[in-house]
Structure 1
Amino acid sequence: MRKTPVSTRRAPRLRASLVAVAIAAISGASLTGSPASAAAPTTDTTQFKGVNWADPRDNFADDELQLSGLSTSDTYAQTYTKASRIISAFRANLGANTVRLPINPYTVNGSYWKSYRGVIDAATAHGFKVIVSYWEGTGDRKDGFIDDEATYWPMWNTVVKAYKGNSRVYFEPMNEPHGYTDTEWADIAAKWLDTYKSVPRNRVFVSGAGYNDHVTTVCADPRLKGTYLSLHHYGFWKSYATYDEWVADLKVRIGDCANRTVADEFGAPMTTGLNYNVKTPDDNFVNFIQAVTDTFRELKMGSVYWPGLRTDDIYSVQKLVGPPSKPWLETTNQSGADRLAWAWGRGTPVKG
């Protein structure tokens, strides 16, 4: 789930409000699941310290994805050069080592795939881990289901063939599969694993059910053992919660599965002047960011912030600077960057 700037798109904002109501119902609920039958790929997931790099349209598109700072008219070489600079800026400004990227059939099954590969290739060449995740389309297609299996599976055939041999590339079969029940989604994830048996399971991220908002059911499914699990968590899901309430809300969504889980989306406003380095108990978003980054560090969980870069998104912790042919990034909120560093095992705790 991505945060859409209030000033630009009212319909997704309304959808986000409805989503928040649905997800809030999960808080405090009994989410079944046990890691006993789902062996973890590693003892923890702290190796993933990352950000999402997004299309300004929130990654929901019925055509080729155009990541912020790139152009669908760019050649492979131009894409590689621009991506190299942006990836280098993620590392220099934030200390990131992971980037999550969207894919869809329009991007992969058409001619633009040759250029788009430049992003993945540049990132891995710079030592980054890359999580590639399928996004559904927009409009009526934005319903939490795979849009068209006739194009979905050929897309993954192409991506897996290209990158199964690159140990820095990880595969996430679908972002936020909220159209399916927990059982239906687990069935699809199991089918993906069975289809691509040549992909090591510790290179697969299985999304939590719903809006990636809880991982307990996929964690408990023995068919999905050995995979990573991806969780999403957002401050706008509640109008207000205390620090302790946010910690409790996050932990119930994880259950006993922290050693397999990566929070590959979480975020809060970064361009509105909030200071995340100082305790501010009456501010919901400050409570949220401080709670989740402390908890990720405590549970030794990897995390991938939403978004590292998305044009015109108030949640974006980076913004583009410089000429389009030689992009670089600046940090939009140093205190937000400091909380990411803390989550990733560096930095200092919150003051006050």
Structure 2
Amino acid sequence: MAEQVVMSQQQLEQLLRSISVNPNPTAVTAPVGSDLRHREVAPYEPGDKVLVEVHALSDAAKGYTSKFAPRRDGPYLIKTQCSPTTYKIASVSNPNEIIGSYHVSALRPFVEDDNNDEVFAPIRPIRRRGRPKINQEVVIKQPDAQPVTAAPEVVTTVKSLSNGRPVRRRQPKQPCVGECCRTTTTHPTSFDSSSTTNQDLDVTRDGSNEKARNIAAESDYTSITEILGRGCRISKPTDAERQYNKRFASPVVNGFTTDEDEEQEKNKKIDNCTKLVCRIRKNGADFMKNVFTLIYDDKFMAENTWMGKKNKLNLSELKFNKTVREAIQSKFPDLTSSDFTRKAGEWFRLGAQRYKRQK
């Protein structure tokens, strides 16, 4: 048994010795392949003329493409050698000014021919990772006078009567504000003469009265402050009122334009003043409902609000509005205005306070 172990050790030593003697064939062929890839460095000396590779850029505005642009520029002079593979070059016309240092891969020897061919003047070469400095003066042309343009188109967001959701309605473009058409014209309105007595509602198409436009563009409950004036309580809508406004429409005044009417009469042009008056009438109707709430005490408010009245009487919307109007006119017979302007709103507010004091 011991003899077999000694023989196996001897055989193993011989095998390892033979492996160490035979070298790896890849270790022999690898240097040969790497040497074939290497290129011999051209022996440039100071004073030699060379060509430098340029990185041409296309310019679509000038109709210039880099596809047919020359890949090299020169000739240039070798000034000094920085390293075995790097040289500093200078222009032929000014040898004292060094342009920069370049690798030998970007240089090619310049061979002069005896044909006396025309050689183009060299430009400042561009490095592979950079651009040369711009020495040319850039002349900036002063722009002409600003052209006169029309005013931008105004888009307001209002609530739709069909579903109570906000709807974007695009108003017609406003006229030009330039000197060519500086004059403004006031378009006639199509509503009652009683509503034109209030100067705050006189709106022109040039947007001179911004206050009335803001009143028309605001929502129902936020615009009550503009309609009523100062010192009046604003009743916030309850959950039941919000659900009702989402499900049902609330047409109040005869002649109000609904979304269905606008779809049927798309070709009919509606003036801004007409839209404004319709919006104010709707706000006035909401104000009337709030006044109908104010004339009752707080302990009966849950049963006598305008929502509770409607559910209790089980009336339709038109009949309910008529009932509310008759109830207010019976309490305040002097209030017969149907336009619900700022002045009428002040009457309603004072009348409601006077009624609560008497009670």
Structure number with the bigger relative contact order (C-alpha 8 A, sep ≥ 6) is: 1
Query: TM-score under structure 2 normalisation?
Result: 0.19
Larger radius of gyration: 2
TM value normalised by structure 1: 0.19
